[in-house]
Amino acid sequence: MIEQAEQLAVKAHDGQKRKNSSDPYIVHPRRVSEILRAGGGSAALICAGWLHDVVEDTEVTIEDIRKQFGNQVTELVAAHTENKRLPWKQRKQHTIDTVRNGNLDIKALIVADKLDNLLSIHTDQLRFGEKVWDNFNAGYSQQKWYYQSVASAMYNGLSKQDAPPFFPEYAELVEQTFD
């Protein structure tokens, strides 16, 4: 199942590039799935890591995911998928609320995604300085609000001992990036 998810993600994201980079987009879902695997995630969660952006950024639909991967993977991908027709702040608030109220797998998927995004931002920030924020639709202060809010919400209803091992890494990176 994980290999099928990888193949679908590779095909769906073919030709796409990462923001601020010439890297193929697929490096992001690959890293997210690796974070989830290293954190002890289930096969369904690792599949969702591969597929977390396909509905949002490609022609693949939620029903395509359901037909190929079943309800558990579909529910994770659907919980993570933003409605791009909504304004930026409203989409991000929805993600924060989803992290706050979601089950452990939903929290893990979103935090793994945000961790990988933030690792890329942090690396670019070290290379390019504060100009890195010019490449985003929402600038430094809004990004700070968003990433800090995810960090504040991720432990809601969850003890720190039960959280995946990458949660503290995410919290620390938020502090380093937005110090």
Residues marked active site are found at 56-57
Q: Give the three-class secondary structure for 85.
A: coil
Nearest alpha-carbon partner for 55 in 32, 84, 20, 26: 84
H helix and E strand count, the chain: 9, 0
Residue partners of 150: CB distance under 8 A and separation at least 6? 95, 96, 99, 110, 111, 114, 170, 174
Cα separation, 130 vs 177, in Å, equals: 11
